[in-house]
Amino acid sequence: MDSIVIEGIRCLCRVGVSPSERAKRQSALIDVRLGLDLRKASRSDDLQDTLDYQALERLLRETAESGEYRLIERLAGSLAEEALARDRRIRSVRVTVRKRPASMPQVREVSVELYRTKKPQ
């Protein structure tokens, strides 16, 4: 399966278990890998035959920044759901969310990676 990858989407979101963690927005980095068939786009050179990366990036950023999450697992799950629902051509998505843990000052970052597929119709 072909892939479209968007790496390093920077977001400021409310995420954390404790109220003090969620009191202010924290920086998170999001990577997304979409699995879909790109044969048509690779022949046509037409935006209609692929995904609008900018629109998808905007959707994922808005999802991350408008919600409030206790766990980055939930944030990643919400992003995966949004990506799969975005376009019928997307068959799978891998989402990685990385952030510096406020409660672990000696750790550079923690990350969660989720892989989801659409159920066959």
pLDDT score of 104: 79
- Give the least confident one: 22-26, 40-44, 86-90, 109-113: 22-26
Inter-axis angle of helices 53-66 and 72-86, nearest 10: 140
pLDDT at 103: 74
- Structural domain range at position 109: 2-117
What's the pLDDT at 121?
Answer: 61
What contacts 67, CB < 8 A, 6 or more positions away?
13, 14, 75, 78
CB count within 10 Å of CB 37 equals 13
**The domain spanning residue 40 has which CATH number?**
3.30.1130.10
18 Cβ contact list (under 8 Å, min separation 6) = 103
pLDDT tens string 20-74? 888 889 999 999 999 999 999 999 999 999 999 999 999 999 999 999 999 999 9
Q: pTM, whole model, 2 decimals?
A: 0.92
pLDDT value at residue 21: 81
pLDDT of 118 strictly over 70: yes
Q: Total structural domains in the chain?
A: 1
At 93, give phi and psi (nearest 5°).
Answer: -145, 140
104: which DSSP letter? -
Q: Which two tokens stand for residue 21?
A: 């963690």
